[in-house]
């Protein structure tokens, strides 16, 4: 009731003092398009159709258009974009990415339109029906009707200062949720809203009731592949919820984490203070440590849960919270948070109807990842060779020479574990890989099956964004990184032609190209000299575009950039240093760092060293 009144008042004030103003935008026009340029393009096309491609008239207007485009881009940046850098940095970033082609996405909707779904609205309705149908067989979670009063500890409640701090940190570029209240309004009037939102949250915790108006989600599908072929397999549903809901979730997330942090699987790396990089480094440590001892092979199973977050039984989550002995007040609140949720799907400008959902965790909520980690907390708990990152689970088996593999039995246990919780392994996406350097290696003859379907054995697999190979080399990942980086170097050329300064171009390079190169760097930093040179060539090409008249070393000195090989070394040192002083949840990597092998007594650069 309190939030409903808050929403009504804020919406009325927004309509009165911040009314929406309709604007018309032609998607076909570039931002720098001018009337004179359009006229030149028209004359070029007329010359083409009238005189042909080899005519002097066509060539004249073609060259004229090319010159005018360059001039128009420079003028647009100088007159309309450059001044935004200090006045509105976020808008400046958006415009710069648009000019460089770094933010444009080809429309994928037309790929899925058909006779069954001829319009975006039909497609949105079909996709929403599909998502809701995934959990229609689950028993709905019922609201707590126990009349017995639940004690609420004081530490679960928040004060005005805490709410004010969170509101002032909101990102104003995020889209508003179903309630229609933009982050800019919440941030601007944080001082006025803080006591109100504090009262709404504390009342919600004391009563154990999450406001119904905040249980709505707008699902925006994002393609997993380009172009998508089916709505069932090729779209990832991202949920947009009200910002007030996320603020309240954030407070409850802190309370829940303080109670379960030390009870969760230490090899679950999707927790505060941990990362995908740590998960990869730990897995590689297990592999190298086993192979270093010799006389064995390593067999790995990469699990993929079908529909992950979308196929979650709320009743199982509550059972897991009870097993972890979470405070009754928190369980009651989370139960209300998960109960009677509704969602619609937005594709382009079209919305589907609202539908109730019996299960699933909205992707995009703050509580979602932690609740899923709790759901799979006991998965593989008795198997030492494991890593988890939310819904990604990997099991590793050390197979002694001439011994049978137990991995098929383990995978069968994982499949039964998933089924008992309403989840399901995706046999098509689950993979296995065998790593062996034994000279007399015999192929493993006990294949892995999931529901009667064999699991494919692969020589390379992308785990958490990094390509692993059966020979433990990084050639596949280096090729992948170079390909991704090369596709973005063209943006630097476009932005240089648009008139960006050298300093701005260096910022663009560091943010959109180098950051992609250096993802999870400590995990794959053991490169050969040839691979290191290939990676370094990306930065060489980038600086050649920015400063063609300078040598590589001079360009580094001028821009203040470091060699990528130097940054790799520094990144690994920082990674180890951070682990040593990590005070977060139990991390298995801390023991690895503490028992680090003694420094080399030889001059060979070995991977395991």
Residue 148 in domain:
yes
Check pLDDT > 70 for residue 85. Answer: no
Per-residue confidence (pLDDT) for residue 103, from 0 to 100: 62
Query: Measured between alpha carbons, how far is 401 from 308 in angstroms, rounded to an integer?
Result: 36
Residue 281's Cβ-count burial label (10 Å; 0-12, 13-18, 19+) is: buried
- The pTM score is 0.83
In angstroms, the CA 200 to CA 533 distance is 57
User: Where does the pLDDT of residue 22 fall: very low under 50, low under 70, confident under 90, or very high at 90 and above?
Assistant: low
Q: Do 508 and 100 contact (CB within 8 A), yes or no?
A: yes
* Average pLDDT over all residues of the chain: 86
pLDDT by residue (tens digit) across 490-546? 888 888 887 778 888 898 899 889 998 999 999 999 999 999 999 999 999 999 999
Average pLDDT over residues 574-581: 88
Per-residue pLDDT band at 601 (split at 50, 70, 90): low
- pLDDT for 25: 46
- Establish if 108 belongs to a structural domain: no
Measure the CA–CA gap between 375 and 349, rounded to whole angstroms.
35
Q: pLDDT digits over 193-218, tens only?
A: 999 999 999 999 999 999 999 999 99
Tokens, residue 45: 């096309």
Same domain, 301 and 187: no
- Domain presence at residue 138: yes
Residue 248 is assigned to a structural domain of this protein: yes
The top-scoring range by mean pLDDT among 146-155, 223-232, 280-289, 587-596 is 280-289
Which three-class secondary structure string do you get for 16-54?
A: HHCCCCCCCCCCCCCCCCCHHHHHHHHHHHHHHHHHCCC
Is 95 a member of any domain?
no
pLDDT at 608: 43
Q: Are the C-beta atoms of 538 and 482 separated by less than 8 Å?
A: yes
427 and 519 belong to one structural domain = no
In a domain, 601, yes or no: no
Instruction: Let me know whether 423 and 442 are in one domain.
Output: yes
Instruction: Give me the number of domains the chain comprises.
Output: 4
For residue 151, the SS3 value is: coil
Lowest mean pLDDT among 176-180, 244-248, 327-331: 176-180
Nearest to 181 by CA among 368, 14, 351: 14
Of 10-19, 141-150, 266-275, 463-472, highest mean pLDDT: 463-472
With cut-offs at 50, 70 and 90, classify the pLDDT of residue 92.
low
The token pair that represents 78 in the structure block: 């100088």
The pLDDT-based confidence of 320 (bands split at 50, 70, 90) is very high
Please, are residues 242 and 178 in contact by the beta-carbon 8 Å criterion? yes
Tens-place pLDDT, residues 29-61: 666 677 778 888 888 888 888 888 889 888 898
Pick from 408, 434, 464: which residue ends a domain?
464
Query: What residues have CB less than 8 Å from 257, skipping those under 6 apart?
Result: 271, 272, 370
Residue 170 pLDDT > 70? yes
Q: Are 210 and 333 in contact (CB under 8 A)?
A: yes
Q: SS3 sequence, 319-379?
A: HHHHHCCCCHHHHHHHHHHHCCEEEEEEECCEECCCEEECCCCCECECCHHHHHHHHCCCC
597/578 Cα distance (integer angstroms): 18
- Phi, psi at residue 327, to the nearest 5°? -55, 135
- Which of 239-243, 245-249, 605-609 has the least mean pLDDT? 605-609
Spatial CA neighbour of 473 closest among 288, 300, 282: 288
Domain residue limits at 69? 34-77
Same domain for 133 and 244?
yes
DSSP state of 154: G
Q: From CA 191, how far away is CA 197, in angstroms rounded? A: 11
SS3 of residue 149 by DSSP: coil
Cα dihedral across residues 303, 320, 588, 281: positive or negative? positive
| pLDDT tens digits, 412-455 | 999 999 999 989 999 889 999 999 888 766 566 688 999 889 99
Residues 335 and 479 in one domain: no
Please check whether residue 418 is in contact with residue 320, taking contact to mean a CB–CB distance below 8 angstroms.
no
CA 278 – CA 585 distance, rounded (Å): 13
pLDDT of residue 99: 65
The answer to whether 498 and 76 have CB atoms below 8 angstroms apart is: yes
Last residue of one domain, picked from the residues 321, 345, 372: 372
How far apart CA 591 and CA 323 sit, in angstroms, is 28
**What pLDDT score does 534 carry?**
95
- The answer to whether residues 445 and 566 belong to one domain is no
Domain identity same for 544 and 591: yes
First to last CA, the chain: 62
- Please tell me whether residues 292 and 326 are part of one structural domain: no
d(CA 35, CA 42): 11
Residues 211 and 149 both lie in one domain: yes
Query: Same domain for 298 and 359?
Result: no
Same domain assignment for residues 325 and 451: no
Instruction: Report yes or no on 115 lying in a domain.
Output: no
Let me know if residue 366 belongs to a domain.
yes
d(CA 221, CA 219): 6
Query: Of 348, 372, 396, which closes a domain?
Result: 372
Is the pLDDT reported for residue 602 higher than 60?
no
Residue 609 pLDDT greater than 50, yes or no:
no
Q: What is the pLDDT of residue 104?
A: 52
Burial class (CB in 10 A: 0-12, 13-18, 19+), 212: middle
Residue 389: beta bridge partners? 392
Going by pLDDT thresholds of 50, 70 and 90, the confidence category of residue 172 is confident
Structure tokens at 417: 């574990």
Q: Which residue bears the tokens 């958490």?
A: 464
Q: Are residues 38 and 56 in the same domain?
A: yes
Which of 465-469, 559-563, 576-580 shows the lowest mean pLDDT across its residues? 576-580
């Amino acid at each position: 009731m309190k939030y409903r009144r808050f929403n009504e008042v804020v919406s009325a004030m927004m309509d009165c003092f911040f009314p929406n103003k309709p604007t018309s935008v032609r998607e076909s026009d570039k931002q720098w398009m001018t009337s004179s340029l359009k006229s030149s393009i028209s004359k070029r096309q007329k010359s083409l159709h009238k005189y042909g491609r080899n005519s002097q008239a066509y060539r004249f207007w073609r060259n004229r258009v090319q010159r005018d485009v360059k001039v128009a881009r420079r003028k647009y940046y100088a007159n309309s974009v450059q001044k935004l850098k200090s006045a509105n940095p976020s808008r400046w970033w958006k415009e710069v990415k648009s000019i460089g082609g770094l933010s444009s996405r080809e429309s994928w909707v037309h790929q899925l339109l058909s006779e069954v779904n001829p319009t975006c609205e039909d497609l949105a309705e079909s996709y929403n029906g599909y998502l809701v149908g995934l959990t229609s067989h689950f028993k709905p979670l019922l609201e707590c009707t126990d009349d017995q009063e639940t004690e609420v500890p004081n530490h679960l409640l928040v004060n005005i200062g805490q709410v004010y701090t969170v509101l002032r940190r909101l990102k104003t570029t995020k889209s508003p949720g179903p309630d229609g209240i933009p982050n800019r309004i919440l941030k601007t009037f944080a001082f006025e809203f803080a006591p109100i939102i504090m009262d709404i949250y504390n009342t919600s915790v004391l009563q154990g009731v999450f406001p119904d108006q905040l249980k709505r989600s707008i699902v925006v599908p994002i393609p997993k592949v380009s172009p998508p072929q089916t709505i069932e397999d090729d779209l990832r549903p991202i949920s947009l919820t009200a910002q007030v809901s996320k603020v309240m979730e954030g407070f409850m997330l802190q309370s829940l984490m303080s109670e379960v942090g030390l009870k969760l699987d230490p090899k679950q790396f999707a927790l505060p203070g941990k990362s995908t990089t740590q998960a990869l480094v730990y897995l590689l440590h297990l592999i190298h440590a086993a192979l270093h001892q010799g006389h064995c092979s390593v067999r790995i199973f990469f699990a993929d849960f079908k529909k992950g977050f979308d196929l979650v039984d709320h009743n199982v989550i509550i059972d897991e919270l009870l097993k972890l002995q979470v405070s009754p007040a928190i369980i009651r609140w989370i139960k209300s948070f998960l109960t009677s949720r509704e969602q619609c799907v937005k594709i382009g400008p079209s919305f589907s109807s609202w539908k109730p959902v019996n299960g699933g965790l909205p992707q995009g909520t703050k509580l979602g990842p932690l609740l899923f980690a709790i759901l799979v907390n006991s998965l593989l708990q008795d198997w030492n060779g494991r890593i988890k990152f939310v819904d990604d689970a990997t099991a590793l088996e050390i197979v002694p020479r001439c011994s049978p593999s137990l991995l098929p039995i383990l995978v069968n246990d994982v499949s039964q574990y998933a089924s008992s919780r309403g989840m399901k392994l995706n046999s098509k996406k689950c993979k296995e890989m065998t790593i062996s350097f034994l000279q007399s290696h015999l192929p493993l003859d006990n294949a892995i099956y999931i529901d009667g379907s064999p699991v494919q054995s692969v020589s390379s697999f992308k785990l958490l964004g990094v390509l692993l190979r059966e020979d433990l080399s990084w050639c596949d990942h280096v090729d992948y990184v170079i390909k991704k980086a090369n596709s973005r170097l063209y943006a630097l050329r476009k932005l240089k032609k648009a008139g960006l300064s050298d300093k701005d171009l260096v910022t663009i390079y560091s943010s959109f190209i180098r950051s992609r190169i250096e993802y999870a760097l400590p995990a794959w930093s053991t490169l050969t000299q040839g691979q290191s040179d290939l990676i370094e060539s990306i930065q060489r090409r980038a600086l050649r575009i920015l400063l063609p008249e300078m040598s590589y070393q001079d360009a580094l000195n001028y821009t203040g950039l470091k060699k990528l090989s130097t940054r790799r070394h520094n990144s690994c040192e920082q990674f180890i240093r951070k682990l040593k002083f990590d005070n977060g949840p139990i991390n298995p990597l801390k023991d690895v760092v503490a028992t680090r092998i003694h420094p080399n007594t030889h001059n060979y650069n070995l991977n395991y060293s």
